[in-house]
Amino acid sequence: MKEIVIMSGKGGTGKTSFTAALGVLAGKQAIVADCDVDAANLHLLYQPEILEDHNFLSGKLAVIDYDTCIDCGVCRDKCAFDAIDLTDGKYVINEISCEGCAVCSYLCPEHSIEMKDNHAGKWFISKSRFGTWMVHAHLDIGQDNSGKLVSKVKDEAKKLAKKNEIPFLLVDGPPGVGCPVISAFAGVDHVLIITEATQSGFHDLKRLTELIEFFKAQASCVINKYDLNEPISGTIEEFCNGHSIPVLEKIPFDETFYETLQNGKTIVESENKNLKSKIEHIWQFLKNVEG
């Protein structure tokens, strides 16, 4: 099985749109993993049928046992996050503010506070309207991402691919260059970078390249909206050439790109043959990268 991860650094470069389109071209040859869990959007284009859903637990949450609580207020005095309120004579945990540090639980003289696993979201195995399998996740309101959910989604997608002998795993990577991105790097065969012709796009491309070189991973690059700022686009091309990262395509700022998305479709479903053939070219390249 070949694992290809699609990364961008900053948001808004079109990473998810490209991942979705490549997944459609790959069809039943690929499983798509949506590891962009902060902005998990792939399912909006795939409108998948959910086959399995699982709870995702992360971090802890304090829970007061009112049968033994003596209303002494030690917990509230010691809470550094102002997460315990006194409401109608009872001490109540504010679940949004509680950081799960467990200080209240350690200091409660009656041992009335227990730390419970925090429900942070859900993860799913689904089948898209094209028949492509996908693994994706959803974080609850107010929950933060960490490398943990990224690892989970990817590992589950891998298991599924192995079990069903599916030759490709396409991973929509998390944004940025931090811990979740490193989690997404584990075990990849090829990194496809989607960048855009802006200063911040180039800045993030450079940081991603450092990681790619460190992990000795193979990579290629697509410059989206290259005509927004052609001098920067040129600088990006030169940079990629200097780092043995082939620039597969330069995509112009295109109304149809956007219109297709507005209609909840992937860009290979658009009428724009030019755009479609560029994506097909990218997929042909990825299909033949060495594992």
Partner 1 sequence: MMKIAVASGKGGTGKTFISTNLAYIAADQGSVHLFDLDVEEPNAHLFFPERVRDSRAVRRMIPIVNAEICDHKGICTQVCEYHAIISLATTTMVFPELCHSCYGCLELCPTRAISEGFKEIGKIHRSDTGGLHLITGELKVGESAAPSLISETKTSVPQEAQINIYDAPPGTSCPVIEAVKDMDYIILVTEPTPFGLHDLDLMVQTINQIDRPYGVVVNKSQAGNNLIESYCTEHGIEIIARFAQDINIARAYAQGKIVSAVFPEIRTRFETLLQRIRERMI
Partner 2 sequence: MKVAFTAYGNSWNEQIDIRFGRAKGFFIVDSETEETEYLDNRVNLEAQHGAGTSSAQMIANAGVSALVTGKVGPKAGSVLKTAGVKVYGGIGYASIKEAYDKFKKGLLIEQDY
How far CA 16 is from CA of 8, 27, 54, 231, 267, in Å, comes to 10, 16, 23, 25, 11
The reply to whether 81 sits near partner 2 by the rule CB under 8 A is: no
- Which does residue 183 bind out of partner 2, partner 1, none, counting CB within 5 to 8 angstroms by kind? partner 2
186 binds partner 2 (CB under 8 A): yes
Interface with partner 2, residue 58, by CB under 8 A = yes
Q: Which is nearer to partner 1, 69 or 107 (CB)?
A: 107
Residue 29 interacts with which of partner 2, partner 1, none, CB < 5 to 8 Å by class: none
Alpha-carbon span 149 to 160, nearest angstrom: 17
The DSSP letter of residue 132 is: -
Site for partner 2 in 199-218 (CB under 8 A): 214-217
Q: How far apart are CA 195 and CA 172, in angstroms?
A: 14
Is residue 115 part of the contact set for partner 2 (CB under 8 A)? no
Q: How far is CA 30 from the centre of its chain?
A: 18
100 vs 252 by CB, closer to partner 2: 100
Collapsing DSSP to helix, strand or coil, 166 comes out as: coil
Q: Which of 11, 12, 59, 167 binds partner 2 (CB under 8 A)?
A: 59
**Residue 45 vs 166, nearer CB to partner 1:** 45
For the chain, how are helix, strand and coil distributed in percent, rounded to 5?
A: 40, 30, 35
Verify binding: residue 177, partner 2, rule CB under 8 A: no
Specify the amino acid at residue 78.
Answer: K
Angle, in degrees to the nearest 10, between helices 230-242 and 199-214 = 10
Calpha distance 200→227 (Å, rounded): 15
Q: How far apart are CA 193 and CA 53, in angstroms?
A: 30
Nearest to 224 by CA among 17, 3, 5, 2: 17
**Residue 257 beta carbon to partner 1: minimum distance, rounded to whole angstroms:** 11
Q: Could you say which of 123, 185, 226, 257 contacts partner 2 (CB under 8 A)? A: 185
Which chain residues interact with partner 1 by CB under 8 A? Answer: 10-13, 16, 38-39, 41, 44-45, 59-60, 78, 80-81, 96-97, 99-103, 106-107, 141-144, 175, 178, 197-200, 225, 228-229, 253, 255, 258-259, 261-262, 264
| Cα 253–Cα 34–Cα 134 angle in degrees, nearest 5 | 115
Return the number of the residue (94 or 151) whose C-beta is nearest partner 2. 151
* Amino acid found at 247: V
Kindly tell me which of 133 and 185 has the beta carbon lying closer to partner 2: 185
Q: Which is nearer to partner 2, 64 or 212 (CB)?
A: 212
Interface positions with partner 2 (CB under 8 A): 58-59, 100, 146-148, 151, 179, 182-183, 185-187, 214-217
